[in-house]
Structure 1
């Protein structure tokens, strides 16, 4: 088996192998824009932020979420102490509460309910004691009514888990890494990758934070780092799972093959994995902590102002360390875990991006400006002197990984130094991203084309003609349930060639060619301070697309990442 493949057959039992079932993959993504496309006017609107008017550091206001599961038989309004605890630790808390509750009472003094912290954080019914599965949720809730009492009562690291039969694909020598998971996803080493919901579950929230932290260590360019993190997001089969439900599905599986193709690799809390293993299910799991971004659930004991402090103290004392260990938790923190942001916005930003992302099939034609001005010097994020073209090459190669396996893509250059030269040149013919071009996959051909990108000296910019030709070419490709997009990246304005035309003439031709039955959107990215944003805004508006200004060439990678997200969060 090559390093770039997962086992087409997986162990069904000791020494046995079974054929994998046919399982159609969801539309894993499809970037409407690899070589640019920023989020319009300022990026992603967070579901947890108020109308987009708060700053990224402001405390969020969460959207409505489903109600929680309660361990009490019925509401008890006269209870002296109400407790909301993360589902995995709620049984432990209930056992402790039982030592304080006289038997036979329908409404005991202490009532415990199991509730995901993402639910409690936005619930109007505030418990007297809140034991979320991470201190991160205290930051998210930004509720000053709660005060932490003592150190956390338990700890549980996040592990990357999967059926034992594919452990070798993501863990080498007992170690794994988020960046390795990204690489494996990019190279299609895994049949399936799932992720818990980052807005409801601790495993999801902490994992998304860890992924972004891990990619940030791989480069000084924050935009490139974000592109690498989003590459994993674009490959997820399931991105809003409940860890408990994932494990339940694993437990019901009768063979490893089905489990691998249904759920595959996913992050989970150590305690949850331990509880699963103790049930001795048919499908055994293996879990490994990532070395490049260790994160851990801690379980703070927090008390609401006005609550019964004496009874709360008795409850905390009743939660003994032996009981914590017996329940599968740790009593001391793990060394080397990541520090969490103190800002709710910084913590929730990536989680919101992941949660709002939509899987779409795309047909994308990339139009890249190859005029002489792309050779102009600029300063990159590290302070090094570079050129617009070199920054495009670096960012573009990373961005090419964002496209999902169901994407149809092609790439043209536009820019000509010859008087009678063509308005554009086809670099990669349109076709399936995993289809073959000259003996290699179209994705690899795209990366090679971007990597070899060299603008022509003294070349003009036939921007308008290239856009007209691109839109016309893609209109013939339009099909149902698929977004068809022309992505334009330019650092200048139309001119310097025989194809030059007034803006009014261009817009008249562009609008005349529109066909509501065959929509083709233009995503226009102005790269650098000299880009004609007026023209780009007009062409995008005429086609129902977007125009984005990347004023600082050194911010090109961030622009690509934001544009990628914009394409996948637009209703």
Structure 2
């Protein structure tokens, strides 16, 4: 097993060497072990309990079987029907068909003569030799796009007709318009694996920042009613229910294949389900007809392939052609399984953030943004702060201080928004709204000192008693990075000594320092970050702070070292 790579709670995964990043991604226990070989181009996966590992060549009741076929459960009935034409009309004969989930076949000790999984990706993931162990002639025999299904009574909340987007689903969940979302386990289910990849693809198209895209995906992940459901069992639960409200609140919306939805709809159940195609991440389950390179009965396999007719597949709810504008499944399995591992290893964490905003006269000095346009430090801060409030999730508690000294007797900082849950009421609105209002109206006085050092010491002291298990507590300071012109000013060495002595490994409070403008003292902010196990960011783009926060939150959600 790979040795875990140890890193701090706020270390940036993008700062790690690529090989280490892959190793961190893989060093996670999901009942079994994920192992990467060949620089991430081949993945071998154990991901189910040993008791679930049925043999790929079952010793069935038909002793005359010579061609062992394993098919995904939903297409196995069609394959069995075709096999009967080669078995003299019966189930026993030279062709034996076993229905088996691909994750089980992928890790079984022996390979079948013919394997029809629910995605070509399983051929590359398989432990039994991978894609080189099979020959696939022609296109997949069937396809079925992943749809977002839900009780018809609530479908209008996230879809228009048969069209929707993963972004709409995420926004509806975050805004509490959708009562519940359920997902299959992406390490055990084809639907889950493909849906998670589609979600990541959709979020990546919604923003140029990879960290924010991942955080948006995890926003959906954090709101799931169940993250490891079985699609077939979900449909059985809905089919046996009679109360639409109970289904909407208990199961809600979930991804399944179009074929599974069609089969359900033909069952005449009490609670109707509606399926919608997510246009920003439409992805298909495909069903390759893969013949083992070691089988002695390839000719019989070819005859079986020919016997599986398109009308049989269409009648069973499958498509025999590819839909337009689908998201391609990546050839590299690390690109497919990487999001699945991140999704599966997600830890529910609460965040506690104290935001410190420099309100001194130096923030009115000129600056340029990343595009070279003239602006001021204060304007950059306003835009960065507003972007940051959008990144903070519902599980965040937050407070905000301004710090400056307009006269010698002024305190070093003032509380602008009291600390508490971000969606709790403050005044006439929520705390999130109060923060946005305060940042949007931010104006620094022309003459005011910068008690940066004292404010950071006070902020860490205020947040340290709040540190709790399964909670990330941090201080974020937005400044031009210079302490001075204040009765609280102190030599840099004195401050750093006090900062170092105040650190408590049992109650860490990392500081993320964001420096605005070309003359920001990034050296000092970097030292502060190093001392507190935080991060320093030079901000010339309003998105810099939101991006840094996203990376910090993603690092915190990673598997603990």
User: Which TM-score bucket, shorter chain as reference?
Assistant: 0.7 to 0.9
> Displacement, 1:329?
0.9
Matched, 1:340 2:329: yes
Q: What is the match of residue 96 of structure 1?
A: 82
| Deviations 1:397-423 (CA, angstroms, capped at 9, x unpaired) | 455455554442223344667655543
Match of 1:132 in 2: 117
Q: Structure 2 residue aligned with 1:175, among 163, 181, 186?
A: 163
Q: Paired residue for 2:242? A: 254
Bigger RCO of structures 1 and 2 (CA < 8 A, at least 6 apart): 1
Unaligned runs of 5+ in 1: 1-32, 541-545
Distance 2:413 2:244 in 1: 51
Q: Contact conserved, 1:490 with 1:526, CA < 8 A, in 2?
A: yes
CA deviations 1:387-445 (Å, max 9, x no partner) are 77767655654554555544422233446676555433433211122211121112223
Corresponding residue for 2:194? Answer: 206
Work out whether 1:115 is the aligned partner of 2:104: no
Tell whether the 8 Å contact from 2:215 to 2:554 is kept in structure 1 after alignment.
no
**1:267-306 → structure 2 map (5 Å cutoff):** 267-306=255-294
What's 1:566 paired with? Answer: 555
Following TM superposition, by how much is the alpha carbon of 1:271 offset from its aligned partner in structure 2, in angstroms? 0.9
Q: Which residue of 1 aligns with 2:31?
A: none
CA contact (8 A) 2:56 2:109 kept: no
Contact kept, 8 Å, 1:101 with 1:109, in 2: the verdict is yes
Among candidates 536, 539, 552, match of residue 531 of structure 2: 539
Match of 2:312 in 1: 323
Cα shift at 1:62: 3.2
> Do the aligned partners of 1:160 and 1:288 also contact (CA within 8 Å) in 2?
yes
Between 1:457-466 and 1:204-213, the stretch displaced more is: 457-466
Distance in structure 2 (CA, Å) of the matches to 1:493 and 1:386: 18
CA contact (8 A) 2:36 2:44 kept: no
* Structure 2: distance between partners of 1:114 and 1:161: 24
Give the structure 2 partner of residue 377 of structure 1.
368
In terms of mean alpha carbon deviation, does 482-491 or 272-281 score higher? 482-491
- Alignment partner, residue 46 of structure 1: 25
After TM superposition, the score normalised by the length of structure 1 is 0.78
Shift of 1:235: 2.5
CA distance in 2, matches of 1:386, 1:566: 32
1:548 aligns with 2:512: no
Answer with 1 or 2: which has the greater Rg. 2
Residues in 2 aligned to 1:447 and 1:410: alpha-carbon distance in whole angstroms: 12
Find the residue that maps to 2:25 and give its secondary structure. Answer: coil
Q: 1:356-505, aligned counterparts within 5 Å?
A: 356-368=345-357, 372=362, 376-379=367-370, 397=386, 400-414=389-403, 421-452=410-441, 462-478=451-467, 482-489=470-477, 495-496=483-484, 497=486, 498-503=488-493
Q: Distance in 1 between matches of 2:302 and 2:308?
A: 10
Task: Return the alpha-carbon distance in structure 1 between the equivalents of residues 378 and 13 of structure 2.
Answer: 22
- TM-score for the superposition, normalised by structure 2: 0.79
- Structure 1 equivalent of residue 303 of structure 2: 314
* Range with bigger deviation, 347-356 or 319-328: 347-356
Query: In structure 2, do the counterparts of structure 1 residues 367 and 312 end up closer, same or farther at CA, with 3 Å as the change threshold?
Result: farther
Instruction: Provide the C-alpha distance between the structure 2 equivalents of 1:370 and 1:114, rounded to a whole number of angstroms.
Output: 66
CA deviations on 1:310-332 (whole Å, 9 max, x unpaired) are 12212212222122122211122
Check 1:245–1:215 CA distance in 2 against 1; reply closer, same or farther (3 A cut).
Answer: same
Partner Cα separation in structure 1 for residue 37 and residue 457 of structure 2 = 37
1:188 is aligned to 2:176: yes
| CA positional deviation for 1:491 | 6.6
CA offset digits 1:42-101 (Å, max 9, x no partner):
36832389789986x643343543355759995469964333322322332233334445
Indicate conservation of the 8 Å contact 1:134/1:298, yes or no: yes
CA–CA distance in structure 1, aligned partners of residues 538 and 115 of structure 2 = 46
1:81 to 64, 67, 91: 67
> Could you tell which deviates more after superposition, 497-506 or 325-334?
497-506
* 8 Å Cα contact 2:368/2:540 also seen in 1: no
In structure 2, what is the Cα distance between the partners aligned to 1:452 and 1:223?
28
Q: Structure 2: 5+ residue runs without aligned partners?
A: 1-8, 29-33
Partners of 2:76 and 2:378 in 1: CA distance? 56
CA-atom RMSD in angstroms? 4.0
Residue 157 of structure 1 is matched in structure 2 by 145
